[in-house]
A and B are shown apart, each in its own frame.
Chain A
Amino acid sequence: MEVIQLDKARNTNFLKEVEAESGQKLSTCYQCGNCTAGCPGGEFYDRQVSQIMRAAQLGLKEEALGNRSLWLCLACSTCSARCPNEIDVAGVMETLRSMARREGYVNDRPIESFWKAFLDMVSMNGRTFEAGVMADYMLRTGRGWSNLAMAPAALAKGKMPFFPHRIKGRKEVARIFKRYAEKRS
């Protein structure tokens, strides 16, 4: 660990961005830790939610964005529901995750690959289709083989059709993705 030169390391613009994008006022957080206490993913995190909130409060961008926890957040909103200061903590986490992606804090994380696989499927067909998503995801990451163990059971129960249902308006859906991609670039 190193000593943080707090006066120099702080990036108040970063704090303002987080507040603007999430619509939450971080100065109301008094660090009671209730978000950490109730977080089902906490035990797998490398930095706890309340610590991420603290980092954002202080404007420490690296500490707030450069962690695995953002990608493990289950979006279950337990933290938001129990926050005594009515902060939508899950919303802040989502904001930080989105910022982390934009700022290049994440490359090739499996979860992002899964999301991409999922959304590509939606973009192509208008709906998702599990077998396709899985195959795409495994191809992208070389991971997820543990899921294969589940496949026979799912297949046996007829729960995994091999072909996607393509909707009539799939081009319309594809245009949503296209505009989104254009806007981002």
Chain B
Amino acid sequence: MNWSAPLPGVVLVGTVLVAGAYVASVLDAGAARLVAGRPLRVGELVAGPWREAALLARIRRSTTERPDAQTWALAPALLAAMAGVAVATVPLAPGVAVADVDDGIVLFGAAMAVVMVGAFLHGWSSNSVFPLVGGYRFVALALSYEMPLALVLIAAALPAQSLSVGAIVESQQGLWNVVRQPLGLPLFLVAGMGLAFWGPLGMSDGADLAGGTGVEASGPDRLAWALARHFVLVAVAVMGAAVFLGGWQGPGLPGALWMAIKTLVLLAVVVGVGHRVARIRLERFVVVAWAVLIPLALVDVFASGALAL
């Protein structure tokens, strides 16, 4: 099948995002119960996300006194669309890629840069204090994680001699990047958590702001925002699985299954960290990102480069 054709492409990406978001929320609820020491009721866990979505769809949309309604509606749409592009650049099985362009990681980087626009707009648009502060927090966060994110992907591109995600996957035949470039995956996951403002990097929607950018969103708006955020998380996991865990490669099982398993593992890691590690102070993260993460990412690039020669 030609996955680059409009209909199959959209269906494939949509399926991956929705299925991934569903699995991520089930994992999240499960991890919460484990950490809280409450019984894991699988039935409830499995039904939870649907019930939650149904509830949000039934709640009335609220508004504020003088919001920027258009940009408010645009914010989750931007995130979802960008998550879609990010997934589209990744080959999900041998020969199954919607948009495995030759500048794949640049496209991914561009899409993830636009996530910053969406999150900022979500905070700005409601003309309310806590969302506003949350939106500005996300900008600081994004300006800090964006460089390490791009750098570790560049490091992964070095052995492949190409910016295409497909080529990066192929280049991991025999040795996955997680082994070859041990700094890559941890840095990528830190940046990825920032992208989805998840767990310790969830300052923009943190409890200290009563929910940050999402304070004023209710009903369908809240659903859209939660979905979009999960989509971004899935995009991060899919990209991480392809670039650092060898993508669809693996013995025995079909490629798509390997890809799914690896994505699941990364989702589980991120979700688990989210319930174990406290939210970081923004100021501290900014300093750490510039003084530690960026230099580490550069070390990753040059070490990988020296290795690839």
**Is B truly associated with A?**
no
